[in-house]
Amino acid sequence: MVTINDIADLAGVSRTTVSRVLNSSGYVSEKARKKVLKVIEQTGYVPSEHAKSLRTKKTKVIGVLLPKVSTETISRIVEGIEYVLSENGYHILLASANLVAAKELEHLQLLQSRRVEGIILVATNTNDELVKMIQSLTIPVTALGQDIPGVSCVLYKDYEAAYDVVSLLIKKGHTRIGFIGVDEADPAVGIERKKAYYDCMKEAGLEVEEGWVQKGVFNIDSGAAAMERMLIKSDRQPTAVFAVTDRLAVGAMQTLKQEGVAVPDTMSVMSIGASDLSEYVTPPLATVNYFHEKAGRETAKLMLTQIRTKGASIKKISMDYRLIERDSLL
């Protein structure tokens, strides 16, 4: 591996001079600069960011900690993060917990050892240990998706969006509305959206039958199973159902189709996500667009300002959302 010393020797200058032309800092004669550039060209020398950052204390790397890599939501978020970061000369060091909570802690440590300048956490839980560790970090942290006390966050309006969904269903004349949620370990999706459902029903003076409220996990099959249970356990069948994610809703629609329950004629379906799937499924699914890529960009920007302005106060940013009415809604 060719180093700055080799270049200096070959160009017949000191390595300081080489450093100067590398960083366009200080004075260098045209002659020396030309010579150095030529040698660099010939040798294919690429300066070591490692050595550089050992001195400068700047790595220009941000750690991005994901719960999982391959979901549509997350890949859109990462797209947004990558866009802003790379535009600003930063690189992403990727870490995925693969849905194992303990791995988040481990990765947090590893990212630190790599001297990332900040950590972006795409969060699906607010587990105590995680929060404590996050708060103890000396580098800036920005979380996306969950409200973590003491750290800057980009948040979705889960309560409002869910409330709007149920309101819309009620406005359309529905009075028996089912709900498919997820575990409360994920507060944003599991708690906020459910609370909004209950609140909205209550404020409209509508009852909620026990069988109408089901729980699943984040996939299609689980939505199908939840819908089956709802159909079986309801005294009076709902005329509409709100699933907290698109995949859950798609699963529900599968069951409905299978059971001969027409969507939207006898059952309306709505969800949150605006995934590709929601648009091309039959009938197209009414849902809420959360603008994940934009959320990713905002998170990255927030991180950048935190890095740049020492002692910046923590900020909470709320993302806007948009209801998309489609044929699954009557």
The stretch near DNA (CB under 7 A) out of 30-38, 92-100, 226-234, 267-275 is 30-38
Are the C-beta atoms of 250 and 223 separated by less than 8 Å?
Answer: yes
At 227, give phi and psi (nearest 5°): -65, -40
Please provide the DSSP assignment of 13-58 as one string: S-HHHHHHHHHT-S---HHHHHHHHHHHHHHT----HHHHHHHHS-
By CB under 7 A, what part of segment 116-175 binds DNA? none
Residue 283's nearest CA partner among 271, 298, 295, 291 is 271
Closest to DNA by CB, 113 or 309: 113
Judged by CB under 7 A, the number of residues near DNA is: 29
Task: Check residue 3 for interaction with its own copies (CB under 8 A).
Answer: no
State the sign of the Cα–Cα–Cα–Cα dihedral 68, 72, 77, 82.
Answer: positive
94 is a site residue for DNA (CB under 7 A)? no
Strand 141-144, strand 177-182: pairing: unpaired
Structure tokens at 281: 């499924």
Q: Is 129 in the site for its own copies (CB under 8 A)?
A: no
Distance CA 314, CA 188 (A): 19
Q: What is the C-alpha separation between 234 and 232, in angstroms, rounded?
A: 6
Cβ-based nearer residue to DNA, 1 or 232? 1
Q: Quote the CA–CA distance of 48 and 46 in Å, as a whole number.
A: 6
Burial class (CB in 10 A: 0-12, 13-18, 19+), 100: exposed
Is position 318 an interface residue for DNA (rule: CB under 7 A)? no
- Judged by CB under 8 A, does residue 42 bind its own copies? no
Q: Residues 36, 40, 65, 74: which binds its own copies (CB under 8 A)? A: 74
Which listed range, 44-52, 116-124, 231-239, 316-324, lies at the site for DNA (CB under 7 A)? 44-52
**In one letter, which amino acid is 319?**
M
Q: Which residue has the tokens 């549509």?
A: 72
- How far is Cα 115 from Cα 245, in angstroms, rounded to an integer? 36
| Touching its own copies, residues 75-114 (CB under 8 A) | 75-76, 78-79, 82-83, 86, 91-96, 98, 109-110, 112-114
Beta-carbon count within 10 A of 211 CB: 17
**What residues form DSSP beta bridges with 288?**
323
Is position 48 an interface residue for DNA (rule: CB under 7 A)?
yes
Site string for its own copies, 139-178 (x = CB under 8 A): ----------------------------------------
Q: Which of 34, 42, 51, 259 binds DNA (CB under 7 A)?
A: 51
> Residue 119's beta-bridge partner residues?
63, 141
Q: For its own copies, which stretch binds (CB under 8 A), given 27-35, 61-69, 124-132, 189-197?
A: 61-69
Residue 225 interacts, among DNA, its own copies, none and using kind-specific CB cut-offs from 5 to 8 Å, with: none
Applying CB under 8 A, which of residues 29, 48, 305, 318 lies at the interface with its own copies?
A: 48
Residues lying near DNA in the complex (CB under 7 A) are found at 1, 3-5, 12-17, 19-20, 22-23, 25-32, 47-48, 51-52, 54-56
Residues lying near its own copies in the complex (CB under 8 A) are found at 1, 44, 46-51, 53-54, 57, 59, 61, 64, 68-72, 74-76, 78-79, 82-83, 86, 91-96, 98, 109-110, 112-115, 136, 138, 220, 250, 254, 276-277, 280-282, 293
